[in-house]
Structure 1
Amino acid sequence: MSPYRNRLRSLVFLFTLALGPGVGILPAALAAEGPPSAPAIAQSGSGVWYEIFVRAWYDTNGDGIGDLNGVTAKLDYLQSLGVSGIWLMPINPSPSYHGYDVTDYEGINRQYGTMQDFERLVSEAHKRGIAVIIDLVINHTSDQHPWFKAALDPASPYRGWYTWAKPDTDLKAPSAAGSVAWHRNGQQYYFGGFTGAMPDLNYDDTEVRREMVKVGQFWLAKGVDGFRLDAARHIYDDLRTDTGKPETVRKNVAWWSEFRHGLQERKPDVYLVGEVTAPSPAALAPYLKPLGSVFNFPLAEQLIASARKERQGQLGELLDTTYKAFRDAAGDAFVDAPFLSNHDQERVLSQLNGDTQHMRMAAAMLLTLPGRPYVYYGEEIGMLGRKPDENLREPMRWQRDPQASGETRWKASTAKQGGEVSVQAEQDDPSSLLHFYRTLIHWRAEVPALRDGDIRVVSTHNDRLLAYERNTADSHVLVVHNLSGKTQTFVPDTKFSDVRLRTQPGVTLAKGKLMLPAYTTVVMQ
């Protein structure tokens, strides 16, 4: 048995998640460290994470806005779903509804509650074996942040915390984020890669770097298990001309290495996952060593394309390419973070034009892949949402009646879905999408190879089928997906002789030939 598998039974979940493999084994140098003070979780943990927009989640004080106590109130739901961790979108004070322009890095948005509410949430989550990470938005601040307001004075000690145009600056240069880069305040111009309301911090300034490590350490002291790092590639990727340059990537990686080192002084097992919006595995790979995990944007796009087209297409090749690039960059010390959509992208079911069979296949692929998959709130009940961004972040539907107690009303729904798309309607229906998600998530808890195994794509000679082996030292399974609406057959390797799990009835295995009904996933052992 590998060192990783020996320790999996005794170490807490977050140690495994932060330092163990998405594919591979735990490096020997790390295996000797003792258990950290993260939440203990049973060996049956799924490793699945769940993204929550607090404003849209659950309202406990009747003001129509979700709050931290609402997250606490629904921890039992999350536990029944089977998730092992939650990511809270920004909870800091902010002038915007979304919170991605922070005015106080050590405060709580008053609409969401108090610091005591947050500490209680973390404590209650840990009691249930659920880890908690929070969004850390440190590429930029709000233009209402006291630091920026002070920095407007050229004589302020905060002046160097931001970037100011010089006489030879090209004020028309586009930012790497595709926006206007330079913004005017009086007679001076400052850099804000996203909007003028979000001035970028200057990470060439030593005090900025020191302060941001302190911010991370502050929240670790409050009990969080790590951070989702917003705009992780944009720390130095400012102008469009910076994008993809080796020097830009090197400086980003150097900063995140410094950041991780500072946090590990307080919490050796801290879990970091970066938002690195890059088009290829090769572009993601350099960030794995300092961060440990990055969201897999190229894979998300291909998973949805394969589900929509009912063909594996380039997916098998992408999986091979991805994990080779990741291993080459970080050895075995990385954990992939696959997902289907998040708060910046149109919801999965909308991308799939409302086809619930395609939705199920996308979910089945996601939840049988390596790493720690992320589910966006409401995805599991089939919520719709198309751009603009506000419509991707609409109230979670708990009850059939959208006016029921606890339902948030921070904005009116544009999806116009009826009460059948709600937790109340779906929770006891064995044919519901919610039941489907719950089943797949619990598969990962039941089968160690699905949660922790490496992956080897298997040729099917049939574009309607996708197959891959998932292997740990003592758990080996074959996953086969029929992406199409017609029955397909497949001849598996003879070492896989039993059908252990299936998403649909009617699967047969006779004379070495596996028959899969339409839109079916099978796990063989």
Structure 2
Amino acid sequence: MDKTWWKEAVVYQVYPRSFMDSDGDGIGDLKGILVKLDYLQTLGVDVIWLSPIYQSPNDDNGYDVSDYQSIMKEFGTMEDFDRLLSAIHERGMKIMMDLVINHTSDEHPWFMASRSSVDDPKRDYYIWRPGKDGKEPNNWESVFKGSAWKYDEVTDEYYLHLFSKKQPDLNWENPDLREEIYSMMKWWLDKGIDGFRMDVINFLSKDQRYLDGVVADGKQYGDGSPYFMNGPRIHEFLQEINQRVLSHYDLITVGEMPGVNPEEALLYTGKDRNELHMVFQFEHMDLGAGPEGKWNNSKWELSDLKRILSKWQYGLEDGGWNSLYWNNHDQPRVVSRFGDDGAYRVESAKMLAACLHMLKGTPYIYQGEEMGMTNIKFESLEDYRDIETLNSHEDLVNNYGWSEERMMAAIHARSRDNARTPVQWNDSRNAGFTTGTPWIGVNANYPEINAVKAYNDQESIFQFYKKLIELRKQHDVIVYGHYDLLCPDDEQIFAYTRTLGEEKLLVLCNFKGYDGQFNLPEELDPQSATLLISNYKQDMDKGISSEPLRAFECRVYHLK
């Protein structure tokens, strides 16, 4: 076993804007996080990942950075950050920062200089191209809909923005730009942070031909992803980042990588590749996607989920490493998506937790997941804040003829704002998140679903997560054991084993709201097993039960 602390860790993601507001302005802040550190320490997490806290105009909630070495005014000051960093370390936890280096804000000084003149020294910090036949340089579509190019009258050229038009892409072909970024990264690491989550990091290298993308039927723009995802110099850039910066510190790194497959992920995370520790892949999150991406929200089968997760488990078995997640700031709440956020909310949230945390990889918990927070269903589009949601509504309703009813149903199921409603701390006004008016509405179910209630209930989802984290620290097989899928075609029960030497785990998860039977393979001895954890009351010492799994039941057995 190649033992490392980041493989054994559990990471908790904080989306600061929605976590805890300390000053009543309706926006979460660094002092608010500080107030809640004891809660996170009690949960047992090892690493706190902060979504961007840098100075930003907030066109995309902080992922449009205007100053990498200043704190967003709404979040506090650098002194507040230093106090938070010290308090996290004092509690034996670590901190991972979000690193957004594919693009900046158009209000970053680099970009303001770059757009000022074609002769400015920072002109080539960004990607500028002349128009073609009176139109954009190519037909690429932005991730946030519309063209990926914005015309700028000052120099009569277009700049590339794969996301919002206020998020111009950086030109990684420029070595001076790279040096500035490395200097900034070292500055944060020398301050004492413990790692980076790297935003869309596999977008850094663009195919310099800037060819048109394929235009699908009925589409206005082309798919440029073959030319900017996993581009021609991406491994060179990441190895340079590692050599110049990362290799000099004891840290944790994870790269967000849309469109990556296990074979490519092995190149990014292989032990001898000197790039990153792990990647965030999106294949399991893309279940139900269609021609309009996630907004189609089509039905999916459990066998599809098992096939995808197993492909990644087997694919990174030797030499790579998985990151494990159901939720983050860009995804709907898992209990609403893959579970039952009604009658079986508690049972299905626990089952989904066990299913994920018993896989091989480093688990990530997103704020509120540990208490079973659910999707929000705002009645009006005016209540939504997410730029992707608002742009997609305009595009699909106005350009593609979607009805308002169809679009709102898709938004209720898949909007990023499902993850961004304030954390529900207690049953007081605004769920205890703020004494002011929250920047986005609080889910009305907070009197029933909140941290205080979960903390004090020994059978709560919070206590279940705490137990899962404790088990991880007690059993190497959970971290390092080999994964094997059982019954791949079963559309109700997700069953798998983890094996390390003579030690074995059997994990059984019922993904349906009714009983399901699991037939034990002959090679597993039912009498030699003890029950490690379950979301229903069980006799812990009776061996493997032959009773059907109840609605959303999970059982994890330890065999020796």
Normalising by structure 1, what TM-score?
Answer: 0.83
> 8 Å contact 1:181–1:191 — kept in the other structure?
yes
Partner in structure 1 of residue 428 of structure 2: 401
Inter-CA distance 204–522: structure 2 relative to 1 (3 Å threshold): same
Partner in structure 2 of residue 377 of structure 1: 367
Partner in structure 2 of residue 218 of structure 1: 187
> 8 Å contact 1:58–1:70 — kept in the other structure?
yes
Residue type at the aligned position of 1:521: R
> 8 Å contact 1:49–1:83 — kept in the other structure?
yes
Match of 2:231 among 227, 241, 249: 249
In structure 2, stretches of 5+ residues that fail to align are: 214-222, 377-410
User: What do residues 366-400 of structure 1 show as CA deviations (whole Å, max 9, x unaligned)?
Assistant: 11111111111111222223544345311111111
1:101 aligns with 2:74: no
CA shift, 1:226, in A, is 0.8
1:88 aligns with 2:50: yes
CA distance in 2, matches of 1:115, 1:521: 46
> 8 Å contact 1:91–1:109 — kept in the other structure?
yes
Partner in structure 2 of residue 114 of structure 1: 77
Give secondary structure in 2 for the equivalent of 1:219: helix
1:436-515 correspondence to structure 2 within 5 Å: 436-459=464-487, 462-473=490-501, 475-484=503-512, 485-492=514-521, 493-494=523-524, 497-503=528-534, 504-506=536-538, 514-515=546-547
Give secondary structure in 1 for the equivalent of 2:308: helix
> 8 Å contact 2:103–2:167 — kept in the other structure?
yes
Partner in structure 2 of residue 184 of structure 1: 151
> 8 Å contact 2:20–2:32 — kept in the other structure?
yes
CA shift, 1:165, in A, is 1.4
CA shift, 1:450, in A, is 1.2
CA shift, 1:179, in A, is 4.2
CA distance in 1, matches of 2:491, 2:418: 34
> 8 Å contact 1:300–1:338 — kept in the other structure?
no
Partner in structure 1 of residue 5 of structure 2: 16
1:339 aligns with 2:331: no
> Percent same amino acid at aligned positions?
30
CA shift, 1:523, in A, is 2.2
Partner in structure 2 of residue 354 of structure 1: 341
Inter-CA distance 75–511: structure 2 relative to 1 (3 Å threshold): closer
Deviates more, 1:405-414 or 1:506-515: 506-515
User: What do residues 422-472 of structure 1 show as CA deviations (whole Å, max 9, x unaligned)?
Assistant: 101221113322223222232222322113323122348854332222233
> 8 Å contact 2:472–2:478 — kept in the other structure?
yes
Partner in structure 1 of residue 251 of structure 2: 270
Residue type at the aligned position of 1:126: H
1:173 aligns with 2:139: yes
Deviates more, 1:213-222 or 1:399-408: 399-408
Partner in structure 1 of residue 401 of structure 2: none
> 8 Å contact 2:324–2:364 — kept in the other structure?
yes
CA distance in 2, matches of 1:157, 1:421: 54
User: What do residues 320-343 of structure 1 show as CA deviations (whole Å, max 9, x unaligned)?
Assistant: 42234335xxx42x3311111211
Q: Which has the higher contact order (CA 8 A, sep 6+)?
A: 1
Deviates more, 1:429-438 or 1:243-252: 243-252
CA distance in 2, matches of 1:165, 1:444: 51
Deviates more, 1:153-162 or 1:385-394: 385-394
Match of 1:69 among 31, 51, 57: 31
> 8 Å contact 2:205–2:229 — kept in the other structure?
no
CA shift, 1:404, in A, is 6.6
Deviates more, 1:220-229 or 1:123-132: 123-132
Residue type at the aligned position of 2:240: E
Partner in structure 2 of residue 418 of structure 1: 446
> 8 Å contact 1:58–1:66 — kept in the other structure?
yes
CA distance in 1, matches of 2:499, 2:542: 24
1:156 aligns with 2:120: yes
Partner in structure 1 of residue 110 of structure 2: 147
CA distance in 2, matches of 1:154, 1:310: 50
Inter-CA distance 278–358: structure 2 relative to 1 (3 Å threshold): farther
Residue type at the aligned position of 2:41: Q
Deviates more, 1:316-325 or 1:70-79: 316-325
CA distance in 1, matches of 2:166, 2:486: 49
CA shift, 1:287, in A, is 2.6
CA shift, 1:246, in A, is 10
Inter-CA distance 317–191: structure 2 relative to 1 (3 Å threshold): closer
CA distance in 2, matches of 1:106, 1:197: 19
Partner in structure 2 of residue 43 of structure 1: none
